[in-house]
A and B are shown apart, each in its own frame.
Chain A
Amino acid sequence: MENESILSDVLLKQLMAVGQVDVLVGLPTLNNAATVANVAQAIHVSFTRDLPRLRTVMINSDAGSIDGTPELIRDASFLQGDVVQTSYSLRTTHRVVTPYHGLPGKNTALQALFAAAELTQANTLVVIDPAGPATTADRVTELITPIWRSEVEFLTPRYRRHPRDGALITQLVRPLVRGVYGVEIDEPLGAEFACSGRFATHCLEQDIWSQDAATFAIDLWLRTEAIANNLQIGQIWRPATAAAAPTTLRQAVRQVLLSLIVALHAHESFWRRTNEVTRLHTWGDDHKKCPSASEWDFVTLANQARGDILEIQPLLEGILDPPVLSGLMDDLNTGDPRLDDEVWVRIVYDFLDASNRGSTGVDHLADMFVPLYMWRAARFMSLTAHETDDAAQKRLNTLCDAFQRLKPALVDGWTVEV
């Protein structure tokens, strides 16, 4: 049976013309007309001004934009306001604009970019967020350089966040990755990254691309895959940007949990034997400018979560350890959510363990997890509503410690025979 190809014939033809490159910058887009021309120009200036000797290519992999995004990139004149830099270009600069092949989704776009990187034997692959209004040539170059110089093999952005911002990251993903995988990655879900061509080829060979999890969790999977393969990882400061909100909170929580499950299953042999926490070098300038946090109606959130949890209480009995469930129920019966760190970490670990036991489907697990996360998030918001930023940040650090400290519970639960 013939496998469906990753690269369209049109893209393949363009890559034949591009040939071997040193740096491939990918721009996966979907209706990014408002920002994409500036981003594309920043990439071009980075190539011509900062990397004139390198063989470079920018590839736009578009998911079917209807706002003219590909046309904007294809037709963008890089001469406007850029005459000096362009005139110094030693080489032909390539701009490949192509719709990608297959089902829509960032994973499909990335798969095409990874395949392009392999075909062109790119040393460095960088994926840029097309919605980044603050993307400049300097920042593109900053992303490329550490990989090009072989200082690291995977580079992930780091944002200066307000401690009350991005609760899904701070309450779940960051502490879990840190505690379980033992690496202090700030943003395991970041849209931008840079990696070596070698890693891109490695990822292409993994059985992830056709899985559902890849459609919503490819960013997390990439980072955990890099960790699990002992790649030298670095972080780079990026300016804080408004978070894209393509999904509802409920959807986002579901997707993140599912992706964590997929990642843990894929990397079991790695994280089970990892005990230390590795700190990462961070490149770039930390402007220390912290955006303000968005306001949460945590009372409504808590009420909604309480109702949902009570409704699924019988189902939770098959997932949570009795003391954990008991602690949760006690908490629910108080006026304010007081779900402490230890109970929250154990809930998370019990859910992950349950996914391994297989007695409950992962989709069902994800559905049940949503109100628990909402309850925890409401609790954190409530608790820190009148605290200083430093105090709130301290709580985040404590939570990370709790995930690490209680990791043996995850390991034990994971190995329980059903």
Chain B
Amino acid sequence: MKMVGQKEPNVLPGFGITLGFTTFFLCAIVLLPLSALVLKAGGMDFARFVEVITSPRAVASYRLSFGASMVAAIMNMVFGFAIAWSLVRYDFPGRKFVDAIIDLPFALPTAVSGIALTTVFAANGWIGQYLEPMGIKVAYTWIGITVALTLIGMPFVVRTVQPAIQEVQRDLEDAAETLGAGRFYVFRRIVIPTVLPALLTGFTLAFARAVGEYGSVIFIAGNMPMKTEITPLLIVIRLEEFDYAGAAALGVVMLSISFVMLLAINLLQVWGRKRLMVSR
């Protein structure tokens, strides 16, 4: 029996049916709906499409979504590295517990983290009450949006960087120190180069997740047009106005960003693997 499309003969059964089922399911649930979006936006008059995606309100929302996601991803790079480093290199009471709760943002529904963060960072909240006298307003400003985006991106950075720190060769660090290198020099010349690809991959994953995030942001954002309105919210508003074409046009912008991010993540991972092979 010769199976269609297979490269080598294989005694295992079920190739045709599993491939068929997988492809069918993928088309029905993912590809067909996504193509509906692209075609809906493609069916628009081009001038109108450009007008929708470059309207001042849309541009303000991109600036906020990108800016806040960028700040959040940078925060995650710094703190995520510190957390991953603490978990791999240090031993402290409750280390295993901390390691387990890192994934909480993956498991916690975004609406829950949204209302919880708003409560904690509101002017009378547990943390907000100390920030308010210092003139820092978190809830209902872009800072609050950044806090929410930092929370949901955090596990991406920690979980990508953690294995990379384990990969750092301790003997190399010890050798450098024996030869008289200072701790900071060792960190800069040995640790950072090894961890860099993972750190950048984690950054991109966190950024990609943050740009599209909706649930945890809308509660803490205040949602003022031109000021604290993220792009996904603008899509929802367009839909509520029954402006399907407008929503589809913005959706295509978001989808294109997702594709660029996906490409960036793949390239970073290829680069990271190459670097690792060279260093061995």
Do A and B assemble together? no
